[in-house]
A and B are shown apart, each in its own frame.
Chain A
């Protein structure tokens, strides 16, 4: 019975939204793990700011703390509160699908933000908005190719095992590397859980184990800079090419100094604004494409000036 009411309300809201643009919306968002890194924190404040600017949007901001079960609980809470739309930053691309399906059944449109959900869930979401992590991995592979002239021996420092973003970037990188640069050999991959200190330790061990390392691919700049730290203290930074993803301020500075070859520019502000806009477009009944990737260009010393330094 509850579901029917929810459906009825949201349908009413939807038609009302079409009739008058000033209709106010209540949008709930459940984020992955705010505070685990600056990207997510900046995303959250950017999202709140964007909603404020809209004027007619009331938001419910929740954080799953990285725990899938808690995120599902929050989805249920949001369905319970009968919000007009739900934005979800999935803690896991597969485990959240039934909760998304539940929201879909309750007539609440769901926008997935930042990291994708598995194919099986696509029919239940209104839209996806975020970066293309597989493509990012592929771009990093291309940069690696370019930097090493297609020859060499490299290592990979990946994000936290079991998380979608980490897996997609690794996948994109490995596939593209094998295809574009068969001359480059990826000798070992170890995870560093998005943690700079851990990346530093992993890299120290790589440096002991391999006398010859030509390049390092890190799942984000935070870990990339950790690897750079390790190589610098071993006096081997000059012989190694560092390539990351999600350009952090420290990575930007390292590129500026010429210690770091390149990264992928990804702005949490763009990410947050795109998610909110997508949700609003859905609510106002516009025809929204299923996949909305925002631009995440390569950034190297050559085009550094075109980008503002990240705030995180």
Chain B
């Protein structure tokens, strides 16, 4: 994997050049790109930069964003999590179904417990059994989807009385004029960013993802670190399920299908490397918002939905490429 090695070298190299506003700007290439996109769309659609549209997009992006925060931690720790889509279906179906049966408080608690349990299974298999995370979470993607269907018997679940339950707060509520999903997204992003940047726990996750062998030498309990990242990821999925279930007041069995890829696309766009040991929540937030605004912008301008797929194709690769090119100070690789 030549690209892998070069990527690692490039990252090392870039750490040497840290000073200077110019370097800062070029390091924030994705942000510049983001602003350019916003500007371009605003030329074509007058509603695009309206306050209500921006709020709508951010609110819509917050479900993917909340999950992406957790998956970013998993990726920084050197693994992947493809099971989040099925897990989201599982948690949403669970919390909505239990809402009418045992009340919202019990439903939420039980949903968090069971979601964390699934996260623990992932974490055990990958952290302690040291199985490959791509394949384990792929297998879990299928198995959890099956569990959801067995649990619900394939029926949609609904909250009978959607107008008077405090459960509505999570998906439909506002605090100081800001939608609750957005607040949750922001809170989670800030907390996790702080943990990752300023605590020894965060440093250990970076170490485990960047150089597992060295991390183990320096006394880090790698297994536990990896295990914990999957708990964080599961916790974020549970939060997203809270928002999703409350927003829709019902759930289909496949409601989370495909989310794993949207989440990954957002993380990649933000510039977090899939190789582990690098990345930040801040970047992921930007990546998720870019996806959200592009989707919304194309729709407002009036392109059919599939053009959005083509655009995603181009910008995912472009974003990562330019980031790499910037780090190695060269557009193309040199080997033949």
Contact = CB atoms under 8 A, between A and B. Distances in A.
B47 A41 contact: no
B53 interface: yes
B256 to A, nearest CB: 9
A248 B156 contact: yes
Given A36-B253, A229-B249, A209 B299 contact: yes
Contacts of A250: 158, 250
Given A197-B247, A205-B296, A250-B158, A222 B56 contact: no
Nearest to B150: A35
A37 B252 contact: yes
Given A34-B154, A312-B155, A208 B255 contact: no
B57 to A, nearest CB: 9
Interface residues of B, number: 28
A190 interface: yes
Most chain A CB within 10 A, of B50, B60, B299, is at B299
Contacts, number: 69
A40 B47 contact: no
Interface string A184-203: 00001011001111001100
A3 B10 CA distance: 64
A229 B250 CA distance: 11
Interface string B168-209: 000010000000000000000000000000000000000000
Given A36-B254, A41-B154, A42-B155, A229 B248 contact: yes
Contacts of A161: 305
Contacts of B247: 197, 200, 229
B244 A197 contact: yes
Contact of A35 (B45, B47, B254): B254
Given A36-B253, A190-B305, A204-B60, A312 B156 contact: yes
B300 interface: yes
Contacts of A38: 154-156
B307 to A, nearest CB: 12
Interface in B239-263: 244, 247-250, 252-255
Given A38-B155, A41-B153, A200 B248 contact: yes
Nearest to B146: A35
Interface of B: 45, 47, 50, 52-53, 56, 60, 149, 153-156, 158, 172, 244, 247-250, 252-255, 296, 299-300, 302, 305
Given A41-B155, A204-B56, 8 more contacts: A161-B305, A195-B254, A196-B250, A196-B255, A197-B248, A208-B52, A249-B158, A312-B156
